[in-house]
């Protein structure tokens, strides 16, 4: 569980501290609201599945992380940031680059660092 929380915290940092100005992202497959599905092949709990990252066409993100604390699902981390598509599946968040793979007609996103899977809001 500690490893999951640490990985989630790192992702929120990745998605919340960039200073790049992006334009022309209107057709990027990363756009939309993505909910946590699994981390290191372990399916997230119902509470953790409330965690999300929303990628906007202006290059900004909004994110929230949820975890179970004393039997209560709690929003533990929230953030706003910027993102950039570096090309060929490489994205930059907080000036850290991560390889991202889109699956299932762009409805599933796998972040290679941490083997984290998100499902897109429909």
Residue 70 zone, left/alpha/beta (φ > 0; ψ -120 to 50; rest): left
SS3 24: coil
**Spatial CA neighbour of 13 closest among 109, 114, 110:** 114
Q: What's the predicted TM-score (pTM) here?
A: 0.78
Task: Please determine, for residue 12, whether its predicted confidence score (pLDDT) is greater than 70.
Answer: no
Q: How many CB atoms lie within 10 A of CB 43?
A: 12
- The predicted-structure confidence for 72-110, as pLDDT tens digits, reads as follows 999 999 999 999 999 999 999 766 799 999 999 999 999
Domains by residue range for the chain, with CATH: 2-120 (2.40.128)
Helix, strand, coil percent content, the chain, rounded in steps of 5 = 15, 50, 35
The percentage of the chain sitting over the pLDDT mark of 90, rounded to a whole number, equals: 68
The percentage of the chain sitting over the pLDDT mark of 70, rounded to a whole number, equals: 79
**Residue 107 Cα distances to 100, 115, 121, angstroms:** 13, 16, 8
């Amino acid at each position: 569980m500690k490893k999951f929380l640490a990985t989630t915290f790192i992702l929120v940092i990745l998605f919340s501290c960039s200073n790049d100005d992006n334009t022309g992202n209107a057709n990027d497959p990363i756009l939309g609201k993505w909910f946590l599905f699994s981390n290191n092949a372990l399916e997230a709990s119902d509470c953790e599945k409330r965690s999300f990252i929303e990628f906007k066409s202006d290059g900004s993100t909004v994110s929230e992380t949820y975890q179970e604390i004393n039997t209560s699902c709690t929003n533990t981390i929230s953030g706003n940031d910027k993102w950039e598509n570096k090309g060929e599946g490489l994205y930059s968040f907080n000036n850290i680059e991560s390889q991202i793979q889109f699956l299932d007609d762009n409805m599933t996103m796998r972040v290679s660092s941490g083997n984290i899977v998100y499902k897109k809001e429909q």
